[in-house]
Amino acid sequence: MEFYATIVKPSNRLIAVNNSDLDQINRLKQHTEYKFEVVHPRNYMFHKKFFALLNLGYVNQEHYEHFEEYRAIKTMQAGFFKMILTEKGKVFIPESISFNSMDELEFEQVYKKVLEIIASEINVSSKDIENEILSFM
């Protein structure tokens, strides 16, 4: 049996977030062992904030012609990439930042590192960039 439920931990208990999740949890048999995968769900607004950061960096640079190239390079500069060995040598590919491939904690690390990189490149403090982004959201 496989199902997904959203839960919160306000104290030393886990609580279903909504009734459909509670129904799923209540279907579990008592005295039966279950394995759970704990995933901190991604925040869509934080995802938008990351793309606002990338856009701010992109419009303040002249090297990259296409946004997707810029996004890929900044992700890799932040250390989030895969190296693939081919017969012609090494190929570097940025890690996916999709909701399914990265949890909130890892995504936060990507954001912080990309923020530092962009702040350094455009010679503006990270705090000033964050304030600028928040003024548009």
Lowest mean pLDDT segment, chosen from 2-6, 79-83, 118-122: 2-6
CB 50 within 8 A of CB 97: yes
- Gap between the Cα atoms of 137 and 45, Å rounded: 9
SS3 67: helix
Residues 85-129: tens digit of each pLDDT: 999 999 999 998 887 788 888 899 999 999 999 999 999 999 999
- Gap between the Cα atoms of 6 and 48, Å rounded: 22
Mean pLDDT (the chain, rounded): 87
CB 94 within 8 A of CB 79: no
Query: What's the mean pLDDT in 35-58?
Result: 85
Residues 12-31: tens digit of each pLDDT: 777 777 888 788 888 888 87
